[in-house]
Chain A
Amino acid sequence: MIAKHVRQGWTSGPGRWAMGLLALVLGLSALIVAPLATPAQAAQDSPAAQAVHGRTFRVATDTTFAPFEFRDSSGDLVGIDMDLIRKIADIEGFSVQIQSLGFNAALQALNSQQADVVIAGMTITDQRKQVYDFTDPYFDSGVQMAIAKDNDQIHSYKDLRGSVVAVKTGSEGEAFAKQRAPQYGFSVKAVDQSSTMYEMVKSGNAQAVIDDYPVLAYGIAQGNGLKTVTKKEPGASYGAAVRKGENKEFVAAFNEGLAKMKADGSYKKLVDSYVGNSNSDKKTSASRPGFFELVRQAFPSLMLGLRNTLAITAISFVIALAIGIILGLWRISPNRILSWIARIYVAVFRGTPVLVWAFFFYLGVPQLIGHRISIWLAGALTLSLNSGAYLVEIVRGAIDSVDVGQMEGARSLGLTRRMALRRVILPQAVRIAMPSIINQLVIMLKDSSLLLAIGFGELLYQAQQIYAANFRVTETLFMVGVIYFVAISALTWMANMLDRRLHQ
């Protein structure tokens, strides 16, 4: 999600010009080189091909950015980027080792020499050209408007007066829409995901969307219920990137392969198979799968998501419980300092949203300490520190509600305060607090879905990845809802059983 915003936010006009110029230069050099190499040698023996022959390049890409990279129903990574780089590797005689990392992670991998190439629907911009070298542009993007399939009122921007147009936050489409809104008298509503925009149009909350042309075209090809009535607005172009000054052989080979594919028509065929608006040769939408087929396809990644959700919840819960008990005891301690530490902790974490901490731990702290923080650590810190604050109050409340006579009874026997707390007060407090603790566990499991904002692969995140590729939003969300419900019901049932067992 974030990756896309960054990508689209970087699109710029001058970049297009510079890129065009580069393309021209590279194209010319290819023209110069090619006559020298031919006719004596066969294609794979061109100098460019020779330079890369037998080599393996590590290619980093995004996780899901349909139609450029996404997983098909059998879980294979496909898309325009994937098909293209594999085909070019074939033609030029090198091999690729693809790593699906997410957009920002892919760039990081490239910077830190973990990868040689990034191909991820990446817009060629001036800023980026200062850091990377790009191949020839392999795809001309741009934005386009779409409306509901059954809408016959809107034929052009003029018909949008008084309508709501959905766009993606930070995208080229948003910039375009905002610029045209005063002229045509529509209002703009920015949301986070393409699939959300399409659902808004279908549900009547918006009358049109303006989105990246390839994403939109792919969605329509997938049967997302929209249609286009206007032409695409010219915009950015995509290229593959390497570290500046390195892997020049790759760039040359890629450009040569691309030129060949364009020349023999296989490039057009490949692109049309994803975004073509005719019914010809659609690789992924030959038939719209039924619900049970959808369940079958989504099942593996949803189960992976569920596993991650349960794992992060379990880890965080154990930490939160420890925090809750220890700081709960500090809170009631006669030691003023400990008691104030606990108070301040509770106030801070109850007074701030979970999401703020998720971003803080994942994006903020690494910049402070100069060391990256794993997403599991950031996620567990976020959930456990948040829940811990509530558990401190639960534990304190439960200890308070144990009859004072219990403490006096224990102390009158000569037990120390610490012994009395451990052997007499806490066991009773935990019993009293059990329903609230179980409740907090359920809240935590549900809150774990917020971690999708930092790209943690939990259940709802996996669902978003699925419907970002297949646009079956309603059905996918339904599945996720059922899984959450079953998981939470089972968890509650087990916790209650355990509670009863322990206290018989």
Chain B
Amino acid sequence: MNFEDPDMDTGRLTRRIRQNQSRRNQGESQMAVSIRDLHKRYGDTEVLKGIDMEVKPGEVISIIGPSGAGKSTLLRCINALETPTSGTINVYGIDISDPKTNIDKLREHVGMVFQHFNLFPNMSVADNIMLAPHMLHKTPKEDARQQALDLLETVGLQEKADARPTDLSGGQQQRVAIARALAMHPDIMLFDEATSALDPEMVGDVLEVIRSLAEGGMTMILVTHEMAFAREVSSRVIFTDAGIIEEEGTPEQIFGHPQSPRLQSFLSKVL
């Protein structure tokens, strides 16, 4: 990653994010995520062809669209797992493509949950959750563990604290992954098809956890194929196709009164 800047005053970034958040509370409009004319190309193929998008704090955005539309790429640009070819991305007012931005520090504020969980098999469930707080926030081991146990309780897995991730079912692993992301107290959570790799009977438990996060006011961007769930929890739904945002609106507008033929044909296939 070219954007690492270990010398940056890490406290400053955190302070700015908090400041920006409190400004929001005072009624000023500050975007959680603000994307301008985002392009991403891999060699000759342009995957994102000019995305403009804004997410207000507390919003739950669902991104839907056909396979290959660029949904994952868009999400991964937001926490700099991918580097945009052009365009700007601001997270709580901080330009993430500015070389002076400490990307590692920024990522502490942006939690991400992956389709395949990406838990660390070389450590226990509790250690997976404790690792980042202990290493980055210097949280003492005992406090970090207590926090891990509390988080596990909220996702219903307290008794699995000392299990190996590989000994858990897919649904359990994904709930641990969510707890791990939450342990850093992120200001926004990104979910990339969090339930796509799960057996159908496991999906409910994971969606339940996400739903309760939404109810708790967490800012979230979900890439999902679960249309019913998207309709239920989202404040806004974005339909992407072939690297552009084809249509966006409330769940009611997108699912009840789709305008573009592409969205109509997409919905007719998935619903």
- Alpha-carbon gap, A21 to B185, bound state (A): 98
Shortest distance from the beta carbon of A408 to any chain B beta carbon, whole Å = 6
Report the stretch among B18-26, B107-115, B239-247 that lies at the interface.
B107-115
Interface string of B1-37 (1 = CB under 8 A from A): 1001010000000000000000000000000000000
Shortest distance from the beta carbon of B109 to any chain A beta carbon, whole Å = 8
Chain B residues closer than 8 Å to A410, beta-carbon distance: 120
Q: Which of A403, A412, A416, A419 contacts B111 (CB 8 A)?
A: A412
Contact A405 B116 (CB under 8 A): yes
Residue of B nearest to A408 (CB): B81
Contact A424 B122 (CB under 8 A): yes
In the complex, chain B residues 152-192 whose Cβ is within 8 Å of any chain A Cβ: 177, 180-181, 184
Interface string of A207-246 (1 = CB under 8 A from B): 0000000000000000000000000000000000000000
Shortest distance from the beta carbon of A335 to any chain B beta carbon, whole Å = 12
Chain A residues closer than 8 Å to B119, beta-carbon distance: 409
Chain A residues closer than 8 Å to B111, beta-carbon distance: 412-413
Shortest distance from the beta carbon of B68 to any chain A beta carbon, whole Å = 19
B135 lies within 8 A of chain A by Cβ = yes
Interface string of B94-138 (1 = CB under 8 A from A): 000000000011111011101011111110000000011001100
Q: Which of B81, B105, B181, B184 contacts A411 (CB 8 A)?
A: B81
Residue of A nearest to B132 (CB): A413
Q: Given A408-B118, A409-B118, A424-B120 in contact, is the A416-B4 Cβ separation under 8 Å?
A: yes
In the complex, chain A residues 405-437 whose Cβ is within 8 Å of any chain B Cβ: 405-406, 408-417, 419, 423-424, 427-428, 431
B234 lies within 8 A of chain A by Cβ = no
B62 lies within 8 A of chain A by Cβ = no
- Alpha-carbon gap, A349 to B181, bound state (A): 44
Chain A residues closer than 8 Å to B110, beta-carbon distance: 412
Contact B114 A414 (CB under 8 A): no
- Alpha-carbon gap, A428 to B118, bound state (A): 13
Contact B181 A417 (CB under 8 A): no
B224 lies within 8 A of chain A by Cβ = no
Contact B122 A412 (CB under 8 A): no
Shortest distance from the beta carbon of B83 to any chain A beta carbon, whole Å = 13
Chain A residues closer than 8 Å to B81, beta-carbon distance: 408, 411-412
B195 lies within 8 A of chain A by Cβ = no
Q: Which of A406, A414, A415 contacts B118 (CB 8 A)?
A: A406
Residue of A nearest to B128 (CB): A409
Contact B136 A414 (CB under 8 A): yes
Shortest distance from the beta carbon of A76 to any chain B beta carbon, whole Å = 57
- Alpha-carbon gap, A427 to B120, bound state (A): 10
- Alpha-carbon gap, A424 to B121, bound state (A): 9
Q: Given A413-B108, A414-B108, A415-B132 in contact, is the A405-B118 Cβ separation under 8 Å?
A: yes
B79 lies within 8 A of chain A by Cβ = yes
- Alpha-carbon gap, A434 to B226, bound state (A): 42
Chain A residues closer than 8 Å to B120, beta-carbon distance: 406, 409-410, 423-424, 428
- Alpha-carbon gap, A411 to B118, bound state (A): 11
Contact A419 B135 (CB under 8 A): yes
Shortest distance from the beta carbon of A372 to any chain B beta carbon, whole Å = 46
- Alpha-carbon gap, A408 to B177, bound state (A): 13
Q: Which of B117, B121, B122, B132 contacts A414 (CB 8 A)?
A: B132
- Alpha-carbon gap, A405 to B113, bound state (A): 11
Contact B114 A427 (CB under 8 A): no
Interface core residue of A411, A413, A416 (most chain B CB under 10 Å): A413
Chain B residues closer than 8 Å to A431, beta-carbon distance: 122
Shortest distance from the beta carbon of A481 to any chain B beta carbon, whole Å = 40
Q: Which of B105, B114, B184 contacts A405 (CB 8 A)?
A: B114
B side interface size, CB within 8 A: 29
Q: Which of A403, A406, A413 contacts B180 (CB 8 A)?
A: A413
Residue of B nearest to A431 (CB): B122
Residue of A nearest to B116 (CB): A405
Chain A residues closer than 8 Å to B177, beta-carbon distance: 409
- Alpha-carbon gap, A416 to B105, bound state (A): 9
Chain B residues closer than 8 Å to A427, beta-carbon distance: 122
Residue of A nearest to B108 (CB): A414
- Alpha-carbon gap, A424 to B127, bound state (A): 11
- Alpha-carbon gap, A410 to B180, bound state (A): 10
Contact B105 A414 (CB under 8 A): yes
Chain B residues closer than 8 Å to A428, beta-carbon distance: 120-122
- Alpha-carbon gap, A410 to B128, bound state (A): 10
Q: Given A406-B120, A423-B135, A424-B120 in contact, is the A412-B4 Cβ separation under 8 Å?
A: no
In the complex, chain A residues 365-405 whose Cβ is within 8 Å of any chain B Cβ: 403, 405
Q: Which of A403, A412, A415, A419 contacts B79 (CB 8 A)?
A: A412
Chain B residues closer than 8 Å to A406, beta-carbon distance: 118, 120
- Alpha-carbon gap, A178 to B39, bound state (A): 80
Chain A residues closer than 8 Å to B136, beta-carbon distance: 413-415
- Alpha-carbon gap, A416 to B79, bound state (A): 14
- Alpha-carbon gap, A417 to B135, bound state (A): 13
Shortest distance from the beta carbon of B167 to any chain A beta carbon, whole Å = 13
Shortest distance from the beta carbon of A501 to any chain B beta carbon, whole Å = 15
- Alpha-carbon gap, A424 to B180, bound state (A): 14
Q: Given A405-B114, A408-B81, A409-B118 in contact, is the A423-B131 Cβ separation under 8 Å?
A: yes
Contact B105 A408 (CB under 8 A): no
Contact A417 B1 (CB under 8 A): yes
Contact B112 A414 (CB under 8 A): no
Residue of A nearest to B118 (CB): A409
Shortest distance from the beta carbon of B148 to any chain A beta carbon, whole Å = 13
- Alpha-carbon gap, A117 to B135, bound state (A): 67
- Alpha-carbon gap, A403 to B110, bound state (A): 22
Q: Which of A409, A411, A415 contacts B135 (CB 8 A)?
A: A415
Chain B residues closer than 8 Å to A409, beta-carbon distance: 114, 117-120, 177
Chain A residues closer than 8 Å to B180, beta-carbon distance: 413
Contact A416 B122 (CB under 8 A): no
Interface core residue of A406, A409, A412, A431 (most chain B CB under 10 Å): A412
The residues of A with any CB-CB pair to B shorter than 8 Å are 403, 405-406, 408-417, 419, 423-424, 427-428, 431
A-B contact pairs, 20 of them (CB 8 A): A405-B116, A408-B81, A409-B117, A409-B177, A411-B1, A412-B79, A412-B181, A413-B111, A413-B132, A414-B105, A414-B108, A414-B184, A416-B4, A416-B6, A417-B4, A423-B120, A423-B131, A423-B135, A424-B120, A428-B122
Known: A409-B114, A431-B122. 9 other contacts (CB 8 A): A403-B118, A405-B116, A409-B118, A411-B1, A412-B114, A412-B118, A412-B181, A413-B107, A413-B181
Closest 7 CB pairs of A and B: A409-B118, A414-B108, A413-B132, A412-B112, A405-B118, A414-B107, A427-B122
